[in-house]
Homo-oligomer: A and B are copies of this chain.
Amino acid sequence: MAVYTHLDDRTLTSLIEQFDIGTLESVKGIAEGVSNSNWMVTTTTDRFILTMYERRIELRDLPFFLGLLDHLAAKGCPVPRTIHDRTGAAFRMLENKAVALFEFLPGVSIEHPEPAQAHSVGQALAGIHVASADFEMQRRNDLGLEDWRALAEDCGEEGLMEIDPLLPEIVTSELDFLASQWPHELPRSVIHADLFPDNVLMLDNEVSGLIDFYFACTDITAYDLAVTHAAWCFSPDGREYKPEIGAALLEGYTGVRPLSEAERKALPILARGASLRFLLTRAEDWLHTPGDALVTRKDPMDFARRLACYAADGEKCFALK
C-alpha cells in the first residue's frame, strides 16, 4: 500500500503527452496496490488512474490483464477501461517498468455490506463471467488447486504449527480431500479470483467498479463465486457466517448467470478450496513477515474458520431461498 517509485513532474508531463487526454493538472500518489504503484491523475479533460508495475512477472501477463479490461468494458461491465496511447498501445515502458493508464471509476469500498449490495456484487460478478465468454486469451491460475500443496510445503509443518497447533492436520487432510473431490469437469472461464470488498467500488447499493484484476485467470467459473462468497459473507475473522449476505450474493449472481445443478452442488467444495487458498497465502505471508514489521499481517486462521464452516454447513451456505 505505497508508492514505490518517484515520478517527477517532467516525466509525468511527457508521459501524459503520449495520450490524447489533455494536459496534466494534478497528480497524487495513492495508497493502493501491493506490487504496483498508483497515482490519481487529473488532466484538463478527465481523471485517470496511472499504474506502474513494479514486478517483472506481471509484465508477461499484462496483455492478458489489459486486454481483459478492454473486453469487459466494451461489453458494459463496470471495470476501468484501459486508456491507449496515441500509437494505440495499452501500456508503455517508463524507467524500465510498464505503466498503464485507466479510466477513473467513482465509488467507495464497503466494509459492512448490506444484502442489496451483495446482490449487486453477485450480478456484477456473473456479468464478467458472461461477458468474458468470447475473450480469447487465457491465463493459468498460479494459485489454483495444483499449487496449494507447494504452498503448504513452503510454509512447512513447523511453520503451520507455529500459527496454530491444529493447522498442519487441517491443511493436510483438506489437501487430500480436495484432490479427490475437485470438480474438474465444471465450466471454465475468465475469473477475477480475488473479489474481496476492497476490490469493489460502490455508489449507494450498486457496484460502480470492479478493480484489481491482477489475479484474473482462466479457471472454474463457479470457483470465482465461491471465492467471492468467502470474501463477502463472513465477519472478517470468519467466526460469523451472514446467511442474508450469502443468499443475496447467490440470488444476484444466478439472476444473471444461472448455475447448473453440477455447479450448485460443487459450491461447498469450491468454497473449501477458496478458503484453503487464502489460508495458505496468508500463512506464507505470515511466516515471511516479522511479527514486529510495520505491515499488518492478516491472520490465516480467519480462513481456517471459513473452511470449517463450509465443511460443516456448506450445503446450507449455498442453499437458495
Tell me the A residues contacting B by CB distance below 8 Å: 1-3, 8-10, 12-13, 24-32, 40, 42, 104, 106-112, 201, 203
Shortest beta-carbon distance from A289 to chain B in Å? 14
Nearest-CB residue, chain B, relative to A294: B294
17 more A-B residue pairs beyond the given contacts A1-B3, A9-B112, with a C-beta to C-beta distance below 8 A: A1-B2, A2-B31, A9-B108, A9-B109, A9-B111, A10-B111, A10-B112, A13-B108, A24-B108, A25-B107, A26-B104, A26-B107, A26-B108, A28-B40, A30-B31, A30-B40, A40-B40
* Chain B residues, CB < 8 A from A111: 8-10
* Chain B residues, CB < 8 A from A112: 8-10
* Chain B residues, CB < 8 A from A2: 1-2, 31
- Complex alpha-carbon distance, A303 and B104, angstroms: 41
- Complex alpha-carbon distance, A40 and B201, angstroms: 15
Q: Could you pull out 14 A-B pairs where Cβ atoms are within 8 angstroms? A: A1-B2, A2-B31, A3-B31, A8-B111, A9-B110, A10-B112, A13-B108, A25-B106, A25-B107, A25-B108, A27-B108, A28-B31, A29-B32, A42-B106
Nearest-CB residue, chain B, relative to A49: B28
Chain A to chain B: the 6 pairs with minimum beta-carbon distance, closest first: A29-B31, A8-B111, A28-B30, A25-B106, A3-B31, A26-B106
Number of copies: 2
Shortest beta-carbon distance from A302 to chain B in Å? 17
Nearest-CB residue, chain B, relative to A296: B6
Shortest beta-carbon distance from A52 to chain B in Å? 13
Checking B9, B12, B32 against A28 with a beta-carbon cut-off of 8 angstroms, the contacting residue is: B32
Shortest beta-carbon distance from A71 to chain B in Å? 25
Nearest-CB residue, chain B, relative to A37: B31
Checking B26, B27, B31, B108 against A12 with a beta-carbon cut-off of 8 angstroms, the contacting residue is: B108
Shortest beta-carbon distance from A224 to chain B in Å? 24
* Chain B residues, CB < 8 A from A1: 2-3, 29
- Complex alpha-carbon distance, A216 and B201, angstroms: 38
Nearest-CB residue, chain B, relative to A209: B26
Shortest beta-carbon distance from A294 to chain B in Å? 8
* Chain B residues, CB < 8 A from A31: 2-3, 28-31
Shortest beta-carbon distance from A4 to chain B in Å? 10
* Chain B residues, CB < 8 A from A108: 9, 12-13, 24-27
* Chain B residues, CB < 8 A from A201: 26
Count chain B CB atoms within 10 A of each CB in A27, A29, A104, A109 and give the residue with the most.
A29
- Complex alpha-carbon distance, A26 and B49, angstroms: 13
Nearest-CB residue, chain B, relative to A201: B26
Shortest beta-carbon distance from A206 to chain B in Å? 12
- Complex alpha-carbon distance, A26 and B80, angstroms: 14
* Chain B residues, CB < 8 A from A203: 25
Count chain B CB atoms within 10 A of each CB in A13, A27, A30, A32 and give the residue with the most.
A30
* Chain B residues, CB < 8 A from A30: 28-31, 40
Nearest-CB residue, chain B, relative to A26: B106
Shortest beta-carbon distance from A10 to chain B in Å? 6
Nearest-CB residue, chain B, relative to A8: B111
